[in-house]
């Protein structure tokens, strides 16, 4: 919990210090009350004292109480403010941390856990700051201060208070011993609930199709019972606390008066009055001492959970992505579009065996290099190393003649159009999905969009247009801003249209209500698998990257569409180097080079014709898919 406090800003620390002042003020005022009470007692007991003096003392008491209330309100306000802004900062830090994660880091935390960590866990921390932090300060100050005030007012009474405190401490310690481990597991159990609920929602279709509602419900009930049980246990244990405190407090009061009665009886008549007023004061101070312990125990309810939560949040914040960005933005001159693997081996984090072993190949600019191999042979693994979703464990992956680790990752990924094996669409429109991640400033060495030369005035204006800014305004001109934006919008629409056409998606996009502006539901659930794939392809083509990476992206397309897409690509993206993973020989037969993978190793490399002669694995795949006539051709 302490470690997370270093994320507090200076302003928040300042506010907390101000809050501390109010806390001290409140304690001081609270402890002032018994003094006036003692005055009133003395006045009442003294014959001939004026009513006016009693009123004055009473008035002061009222004033002090009001002051105490005001301090409490101020403290609460400050604490809530700090907690809210701190919570907000932690959330955005966590969001940023998660955004920087690659698949390797995502594998470490489950999605459900990341959700709990950025919602419930931060709420716990926030709650602790709102309620606990200032209590944590207040309770000891109050206890010590009250103890100092009563010290020397009577040995017997002090002893009684000491016994009461000891009983309380033992009780609290016992309770904590029971409850703390449960608090620790609470957040993990919340993760489990999230996990089951999430899986149930994401896999809804399968759950329905397999009549697995009952099974899912059982799983949820199981997770739910675990959390409920723990919550009930801790709440019940904590519920014991209050009556216990009350009993001890009342018992102490009783003891103070009992002892007082004996003392007063034994004392001389002149001392009796002092003793009596001392007793009244003492009883209210001892209440304060017990109150302080009560508050402290409340802190103990909040602290363990917040502490666990702080750990979990720090774990996320402290996880540095394994893919560290370099600084290079340019490849070697004249080698734009080359991809080379030099003796690359790769082991998944946590796996014992390497998945790729000593893979080497080269793709020259504009070439098509295809990868084929059985399921699980490592094709996706290999291709994921190009945009640095993972880093090679051994060897080098070079893009444009430069090791990918030297590049600024944004510059590297800006060169690559990546179509993942599992198409992902975002909620929005067809157009927003195709132009996804469109960052005009980074639109790399494109096929038809050239980066403007910013050393000229016209170039700068063009850049401003691309960036969506009003290029003319900075030149002191006016009025034509709308025109520039309009141009950009129509230019963009044209490019989206082209990309959609290359991916052969126009035939169904045109039929959709709204065309390019047709809505796409979350996860693309309102389009078919093959349509999703085609939109994913369009998204990659839209960027006009140097390198296009297709991970089995033609698998859901029928043969005719598959061919049409490849032909359109050969025209539109002829300059781009294409890395294609495929299961169908037909898709890759015409590739400049085919790399055959088997269990993470390259077992053959060459053209279709060469491989038929030289590579047994390839020939088997070919024979299983092509007719004798096709093979002979
Ligand atoms: N994130 C991961 N962590 C650990 N192992 C993984 C991970 N992803 C894949 N693997 C393992 O790596 C192997 C190769 O997987 P990969 O996805 O590269 O196969 P593939 O050739 O693309 O197969 P497919 O044709 O089915 O897509 C598999 O055996 C799989 O178990
Ligand atoms: Mg794969």
On whether both 354 and 289 belong to a single domain, the answer is no
∠ CA 398-402-404, rounded to 5°? 60
Going from the Cα of 378 to the center of ligand 1, the distance in angstroms, rounded, reads 6
CA 87 to chain centre: 12
Measured from the Cβ of residue 131, the count of other Cβ atoms closer than 10 Å reads 19
Confirm whether 549 is domain-assigned.
yes
The full length of the chain comes to: 633
Residue 243 included in any domain: yes
70 and 156 belong to one structural domain: yes
* Confidence band of 216 (pLDDT split at 50, 70, 90): very high
Residues 277 and 360 in one domain: no
Question: Is residue 613 in a domain?
Answer: yes
Q: 5 alpha carbon to ligand 2 midpoint, in Å?
A: 44
Alpha-carbon gap, residue 234 to 301, rounded angstroms: 9
Q: How confident is the model at residue 185 (pLDDT cuts 50, 70, 90)?
A: confident
353 lines ligand 1 (CB under 6 A): no
Secondary structure tally for the chain: helices H, strands E: 22, 12
Residues 421 and 565 in one domain: yes
Decide whether any atom of ligand 1 lies within 6 Å of the 472 Cβ: no
How would you label 337-359 residue by residue, b for 16+ Cβ within 10 Å and e otherwise? bbbbbbebbbbbeeeeebbbbeb
Query: Residue 583: nearest ligand to its CA?
Result: 1
Mean pLDDT of the chain: 86
| Ligand 1 pocket member 381 (CB < 6 A) | yes
Reported as half-sphere exposure (CB side, CA atoms, 13 A), residue 517 has a value of: 4
Query: CB of 380 closer than 6 A to ligand 1?
Result: yes
DSSP tag of 131: I
Assess whether 360 and 239 both reside in one domain.
Answer: no
Angle, helix 481-502 to helix 457-466, in steps of 10 degrees: 60
Q: Tell how far the Cα of 583 is from the centroid of ligand 2, in angstroms.
A: 10
Residue 469 CA to ligand 1 centre (angstroms): 44
pLDDT score for 231: 92
483's CB contacts (< 8 A; 6+ apart) are none
- What 3-state class would DSSP assign to 320? coil
Same domain, 217 and 349: no
> Measured from the CA of 583, which atom of ligand 1 is nearest?
25
In a domain, 329, yes or no: no
Q: Are residues 11 and 74 located together in one domain of the fold? A: yes
The residue nearest atom 24 of ligand 1, judged by CA position, is 375
Q: Is the CB of 378 under 6 A from ligand 1?
A: yes
For residue 428, CA distances in Å to 431, 432, 518, 524, 602 come to 8, 6, 8, 9, 41
Do 52 and 98 lie in one domain? The reply is: yes
Q: What is the pLDDT of residue 91?
A: 94
In the predicted structure, residue 265 carries a pLDDT above the cut 80: yes
Q: Containing domain of residue 502, as a range?
A: 339-473+481-632
C-beta of 234 in contact with ligand 1 (< 6 A) = no
What does DSSP assign to residue 328? B
Cα–chain center distance at 147: 46
- 378, 356 contact by CB (below 8 A): yes
- State whether the beta carbon of 146 lies less than 6 angstroms from ligand 1: no
CATH number at residue 170: 1.20.1560.10
Q: What is the pLDDT of residues 385-427, one digit of tens each?
A: 999 999 999 999 999 999 999 999 999 999 999 999 998 999 9
Whole-angstrom Cα distance, residue 282 to residue 147? 10
Contact, 145 vs 31, CB < 8 A?
yes
Residue 1 has a pLDDT of 80
Instruction: State pLDDT tens for residues 477-527.
Output: 344 445 567 787 888 888 999 999 999 998 888 888 888 889 998 888 889
- My answer on whether 83 and 196 are in the same domain is yes
| Pairwise CA distance, residues 630 & 239, whole Å | 80
Q: Which atom of ligand 1 is nearest to the CA of 103?
A: 1
Helices (H), 210-268: 213-266
Q: Is residue 383 part of a domain?
A: yes
Q: Does any domain span residue 323?
A: no
**This prediction's pTM:** 0.77
The answer to whether the CB of 126 is under 6 A from ligand 1 is: no
Q: Which of 583, 607, 612 is nearest to 595 (CA)?
A: 607
Does any ligand 1 atom lie closer than 6 A to the CB of residue 352?
A: no
CA of 338 to the centre of ligand 1 (A): 25
Ligand 1 mutation pick, 376, 393, 587, max ligand atoms within 8 A of CB: 376
C-alpha 360/C-alpha 358 separation (Å) is: 6
Using 50, 70 and 90 to split pLDDT, how confident is the model at 462? low
Residue 324 in domain: no
For residue 431, the domain's CATH number is 3.40.50.300
- Residue 380 Cα to ligand 1 middle (Å): 7
Do 121 and 188 reside in the same domain of the chain?
A: yes
**Angle made by CA atoms 582, 586, 589, in degrees to the nearest 5:** 85
In the reported structure, the alpha carbon of residue 233 is separated from the centroid of ligand 2 by a whole-number distance in angstroms of 47
User: Percentages helix, strand, coil for the chain, rounded to the nearest 5?
Assistant: 65, 10, 25
Q: Do 312 and 346 fall into the same domain?
A: no
Q: How far is the CA of 203 from the centre of ligand 1 (A)?
A: 21
Chain centre to alpha carbon of residue 475: 43
Ligand 2 mean position, distance from CA 557 (Å): 16
Domain count, the chain: 2
Residues 446 and 410 in one domain: yes
Whether residue 559 lies inside any domain: the answer is: yes
Mutate to test the pocket of ligand 1, among 356, 378, 549 (most ligand atoms within 8 A of CB): 378
| Residue 628 CB neighbours (<10 A) | 8
| 515 phi-psi bin (left φ>0, alpha ψ -120 to 50, beta other) | left
pLDDT digits (tens, 9 = 90+) for 523-576: 888 899 889 999 999 999 998 899 999 999 888 888 888 889 888 988 888 889
Contact indicator for 569, 578 with CB cutoff of 8 Å: yes
Neighbours of 630 (CB within 10 A): 12
Q: How far is the CA of 204 from the centre of ligand 1 (A)?
A: 25
* Protein residue with its CA nearest to atom 18 in ligand 1: 378
């Amino acid at each position: 919990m302490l470690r997370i406090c270093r994320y507090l800003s200076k302003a928040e620390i300042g506010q907390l210090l101000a809050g501390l002042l109010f806390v001290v003020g409140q304690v001081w005022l609270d402890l002032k009350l018994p003094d006036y009470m003692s005055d009133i007692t003395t006045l009442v007991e003294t014959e001939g004292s004026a009513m006016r003096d009693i009123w004055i003392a009473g008035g002061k008491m009222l004033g002090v109480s009001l002051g105490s209330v005001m301090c409490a309100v101020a403290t609460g306000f400050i604490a809530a403010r700090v907690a809210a802004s701190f919570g907000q900062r932690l959330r955005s830090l966590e969001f940023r941390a998660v955004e920087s994660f690659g698949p390797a880091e995502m594998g470490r935390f489950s999605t459900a856990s990341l959700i709990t960590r950025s919602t419930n866990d931060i709420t716990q921390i926030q709650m602790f700051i709102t309620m606990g932090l200032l209590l944590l300060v207040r309770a000891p100050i109050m206890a010590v201060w009250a103890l100092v005030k009563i010290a020397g007012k009577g040995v017997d009474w002090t002893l009684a208070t000491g016994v009461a405190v000891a009983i309380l401490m033992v009780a609290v310690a016992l309770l904590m011993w029971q409850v703390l481990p449960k608090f620790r597991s609470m957040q993990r159990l919340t993760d489990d609930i999230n996990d089951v609920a999430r899986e149930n929602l994401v896999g809804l279709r399968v759950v329905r199709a397999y009549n697995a509602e009952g099974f899912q419900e059982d799983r949820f009930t199981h997770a739910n019972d675990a959390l409920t049980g723990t919550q009930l246990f801790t709440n019940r244990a904590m519920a014991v606390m209050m009556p216990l405190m009350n009993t001890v407090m009342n018992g102490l009061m009783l003891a103070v008066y009992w002892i007082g009665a004996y003392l007063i009886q034994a004392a001389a008549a002149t001392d009796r009055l002092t003793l009596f007023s001392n007793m009244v004061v003492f009883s209210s101070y001892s209440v304060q001492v017990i109150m302080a312990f009560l508050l402290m125990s409340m802190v103990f309810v909040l602290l363990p959970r917040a502490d666990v939560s702080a750990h979990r949040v720090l774990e996320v914040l402290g996880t540095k992505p394994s893919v560290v960005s370099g600084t290079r933005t340019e490849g070697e001159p004249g080698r734009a579009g080359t991809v080379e693997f030099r003796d690359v081996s790769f082991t998944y984090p946590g796996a014992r065996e390497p998945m790729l072993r000593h893979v080497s190949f080269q793709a020259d600019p504009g070439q098509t290099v295809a990868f084929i191999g059985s399921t699980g042979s490592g094709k996706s693994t290999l291709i994921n190393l190009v945009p640095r979703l993972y880093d090679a464990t051994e060897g080098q992956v070079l893009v444009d003649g430069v090791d990918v680790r030297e590049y600024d990752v944004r510059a590297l990924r800006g060169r690559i159009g990546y179509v993942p094996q599992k198409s992902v669409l975002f909620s929005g429109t067809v157009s927003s999905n195709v132009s996804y991640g469109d960052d005009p400033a980074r639109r790399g060495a494109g096929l038809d969009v050239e980066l403007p030369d910013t050393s000229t005035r016209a170039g700068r204006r063009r850049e401003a247009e691309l960036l969506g800014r009003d290029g003319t305004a900075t030149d002191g001109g006016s009025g034509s801003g709308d025109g520039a934006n309009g141009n950009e919008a129509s230019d963009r629409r044209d490019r989206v249209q082209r990309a959609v056409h290359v991916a052969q998606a126009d035939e169904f996009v045109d039929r959709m209500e709204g065309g390019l502006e047709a809505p796409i539901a979350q996860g693309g659930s309102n389009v078919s698998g093959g349509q999703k794939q085609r939109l994913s392809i369009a998204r990659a083509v839209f960027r006009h990257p140097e390198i296009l990476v297709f991970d089995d992206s033609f698998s859901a397309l029928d043969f005719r569409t598959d061919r049409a897409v490849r032909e359109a690509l050969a025209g539109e993206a002829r300059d781009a180097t294409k890395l294609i993973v495929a299961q169908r020989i037909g898709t890759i037969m015409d590739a400049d080079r085919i790399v055959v993978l088997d269990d993470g190793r390259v077992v053959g490399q060459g053209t279709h014709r060469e491989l038929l002669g030289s590579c047994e694995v390839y020939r088997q795949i070919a024979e299983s898919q092509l007719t004798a006539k096709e093979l002979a051709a």
